[in-house]
Structure 1
Amino acid sequence: MIAALIASGNIAYVIILITLVEAALVLVIHRRTGHGLSPGAFLPNLIAGDFLLLALGVGLGHGKWGWVALCLLGSLVAHLTDLIRRWQ
């Protein structure tokens, strides 16, 4: 089962789903308590990672190279956004 998930690229989508659930929980905790990470502190980093996972999923699933490149570009934009926010 795991081998099939990896070979098809679907493992990347499972991990993306897990990170989205994690992000939702962090956001709910932050909104209800005011504690924990603010959205600006973790969302750009999470988005960059999810775009990398999406590129992996598309690539392993034999998607077109243009979609992989677009996912990598999205990751770069999110990563640069994260760096700029941290630098200030």
Structure 2
Amino acid sequence: MPAVVLVHGLYHRPEHFGRVAEPMRTAGIEVVVPELHRGSLSADTAAVQAAVDSLAEPPLVLGHSYGGSVITGVRGAGQLVYLTAFV
């Protein structure tokens, strides 16, 4: 099972994915939820890229809302999933 990177929206924080991330972790899935709001789209994309690059295998990367715009610039993901996202 690939790792999962969950990317939150503009007015959200990593904690908002808690109800999704915790059951996945309990099931043995590695889950990373990077903190955004670094001042620009490129800075946020770099934060997510760093999370992807830190993983041993290409992860599934899910972007919600503004997170969809962020993940569009990420390279090396196994899959990109857009959940009610801006692209």
Q: If the length of structure 1 is used for normalisation, what is the TM-score? A: 0.24
Which has the larger helix fraction?
1
Which has the larger strand fraction?
2
